[in-house]
Structure 1
Amino acid sequence: MRASRLVTLLLLLQNRGRMTAEQLAEELEVSVRTVYRDVQALGAAGIPLYGDAGHAGGYRLVDGYRTRLTGLTADEAQAAFLAALPGAAAELGLGEALATARLKLRAALPAELREHAGRIQERFLLDAPGWYGDPDDTPHLAAVAEAVWARRAVLLRYRRWRAPEEIERRVEPYGLVLKAGRWYLVADGPTGIRTYRIDQIVGLHGLDDGFAVPHGFDLGAYWAGYLADFRARLHTGEALVRLTPEGARRLGVARAGDGWTEARVPIESVDHAHGEFLRLGTDVVVLAPAELRDRIAATVRTLAARYAEDPSADGTSGRVG
């Protein structure tokens, strides 16, 4: 552990120039006294660094010195591919490896490219999950990731929406996908290659059985096909609607002018469309199918009747608590 910390300290000085003991201690998550000892150890090993006293002082490497310790370990190389998603790397247990990989990559760059990379990191941030979704509870994610790395089969207990609601299967995990902040496992099992939500895994036992991914299998291509099939199954019907300019904008429908626009839009089901169109309020009028139009009309009548009632008629005062 100390050897890794010494390399990180050296790379920090190489990338950032002069740093105080307090700054190094904060970056390395150790005490200032530990930093002093580490600096002495690097000096004893022949690393040309020195310290400046005073308010603007700190440790720095001799001008022109560059370490050649920039090779990536296996974990760091894996983490480098998740550099745009630090949260995902941390969930997979690669947070520390990602930080070290970034330092090594920056250290290997020429000075002008290091400066450019620094500006990118300062000015752009990717935050993939949506606004309103709570983080998934994924206690088995690390174990699944380990099985994916090692190409080892697992026995999982999985909760699904149809009966039987809980199943147990031996599967061979091919890969992990992070979609809109949610983790999915792509694995081969008794019913072929399937997709499993990691937060629905309620139990997992690693097996010693190794496996080989079939020749030609491509995780990206599989996922693209899975999404296309999902969308095809999702929108099995359509509705004929009239939209205000605002309604057309919210649904992403091309407007036919400054007034109302008539359009056919795909829907998943009457139940789902009922809720989605109600969110548009007075910006939409459903013309067909008749079942959907009647459902929305009935809901509107119920809402109108409830809002016409005296809010104090049930004896409540409207106070909270």
Structure 2
Amino acid sequence: MLLLRRHGRLTAATLARELEVSTRTVLRDIEALSAAGVPVYAERGRRGGFALLPDFRTDLTGLHHDEALALLVAGSGRGEQVFGLGSALASAMRKVADALPESHRDTASDAARRLLVDPETDLLSRRLPTEELPDPTMIEVRRAVLVGHKLRIHYAATGQAPQWRTVDPIGLVTVHGRGYLLATRSGTDRTYRLSRMLAAEELPEPAERPNQVDLDRIWRERCTQFLSEGDQVRVLVRVNPLRREELVSTALAVRAEEPDADGWPRLEVTYQDARHAEWALWQLTTDAEALSPQWLRASLRDRAAAMVSCYGVSS
């Protein structure tokens, strides 16, 4: 109905393609709309198709221009890609646009096109990572989370063969295009990367989880726990103020910060491992100096010496 409102006359084949159903389903739904009192009619001939009587529209009471704009802009983010909600989002946006008063519809749609949230590439033309699950797997995961059922996942952890695990799902989180399932397994907190799920199955048993959840708090706690485990490396570094944000963007966390005598910030940051720390500071050249640990200073010095040796003599 909203497609017909927005585009005017459309053929059954076009509607079927847009809605990802068969033409037989479209014809059946047209009959259902007509029976429900929606003024839809068919025009035959080469340029025929289905259309609504002029001036028929749905209504969304109380939605003003800025509210509609906020919804349209929010809908341009990439969370729907991670959680498999793309088609639902497209449908919702059609409803929002259709429900606007005629005087607001074109201006809100044009304004939304002038505000971009989380594009697929950054200013340096680097493609930002986006991870997607196959629809059947994502549907099972999302349904188990929302309904509150146990979930069985075929999961490939780093460096391990894929295994089936039964978990109690708590919620879904997306960070910079990466999706995570927060869950418990045998009462222990677990965080699973969605892109590593090879298959999933919602189970009929209810999940063991609290009725109320503060997902933001749980995510902060999981992040803190993650930073305290494994081979993370803490680095004390002084950095040119103009490149502070670049330094911070490569680190897992900033644990402390204070000004140095010459005005350069001195930060204690955490990296995933030694290789990550060396790579991140090498990108900043002389605009950053690792003060500790000593092995990192030595590693960066040796790398710089090797670079001088490579380029010091003309070929």
After TM superposition, the score normalised by the length of structure 2 is 0.66
Percent identical pairs in the alignment equals: 25
Residue 139 of structure 2 aligns with which residue? 142
Report deviation, 1:293. Answer: 1.2
Q: List per-residue Cα deviations over 1:12-54 (Å, max 9, x = no partner).
A: 444x4x73547x9756637xx99xx89x9699766557899xx
Of residues 8, 14, 18, the one that matches 1:19 is 8
Residue 223 of structure 1 aligns with which residue? 219
Residue 267 of structure 1 aligns with which residue? 270
Aligned residues of 2:143 and 2:202 also touching (Cα < 8 A): no
Residue 55 of structure 1 aligns with which residue? none
Larger Rg belongs to? 1
- What is the RMSD computed on CA atoms of the aligned residues? 4.8
Of residues 97, 101, 106, the one that matches 1:106 is 97
Aligned residues: 284
Of residues 63, 80, 84, the one that matches 1:89 is 80
Report deviation, 1:113. Answer: 4.5
Residue 290 of structure 1 aligns with which residue? 294
**CA distance 1:187–1:248, shift in 2 (3 Å):** closer
Aligned residues of 2:173 and 2:181 also touching (Cα < 8 A): yes
Letter paired with 2:219: W
Letter paired with 2:234: G
After TM superposition, the score normalised by the length of structure 1 is 0.65
Residue 305 of structure 1 aligns with which residue? 309
Report deviation, 1:307. Answer: 2.8
SS at match of 2:133: coil
Residue 214 of structure 1 aligns with which residue? 210
Map 1:188-199 → 2, pairs under 5 A? 188-199=184-195
Residue 153 of structure 2 aligns with which residue? 156
SS at match of 1:214: coil
Separation in structure 1 between the aligned mates of residue 277 and residue 34 of structure 2, nearest angstrom: 71
Residue 165 of structure 2 aligns with which residue? 169
Report deviation, 1:279. Answer: 0.9
Aligned residues of 2:84 and 2:132 also touching (Cα < 8 A): no
Residue 238 of structure 1 aligns with which residue? 235
SS at match of 1:29: helix
Aligned residues of 2:233 and 2:274 also touching (Cα < 8 A): no
Q: List per-residue Cα deviations over 1:102-153 (Å, max 9, x = no partner).
A: 3333343434454454234322232366644444363433332232233222
Q: List per-residue Cα deviations over 1:156-177 (Å, max 9, x = no partner).
A: 3333236x66554210122221
Of residues 280, 284, 294, the one that matches 1:280 is 284
Separation in structure 1 between the aligned mates of residue 260 and residue 39 of structure 2, nearest angstrom: 72
**CA distance 1:267–1:12, shift in 2 (3 Å):** closer
Report deviation, 1:300. Answer: 1.2
**CA distance 1:211–1:260, shift in 2 (3 Å):** closer
Separation in structure 1 between the aligned mates of residue 221 and residue 128 of structure 2, nearest angstrom: 25
Aligned residues of 2:10 and 2:51 also touching (Cα < 8 A): no
**CA distance 1:276–1:97, shift in 2 (3 Å):** closer
Report deviation, 1:231. Answer: 5.0
Separation in structure 2 between the aligned mates of residue 87 and residue 265 of structure 1, nearest angstrom: 32
Aligned residues of 1:91 and 1:142 also touching (Cα < 8 A): no
**CA distance 1:41–1:267, shift in 2 (3 Å):** closer
Q: List per-residue Cα deviations over 1:172-191 (Å, max 9, x = no partner).
A: 12222121111111112125
**CA distance 1:217–1:118, shift in 2 (3 Å):** same
Letter paired with 1:289: P
Residue 316 of structure 1 aligns with which residue? none
SS at match of 2:212: coil
Aligned residues of 1:135 and 1:181 also touching (Cα < 8 A): yes
The answer to whether 1:118 aligns with 2:109 is: yes
Q: List per-residue Cα deviations over 1:47-81 (Å, max 9, x = no partner).
A: 557899xxxxx9975565434799xxxxxxxxx99
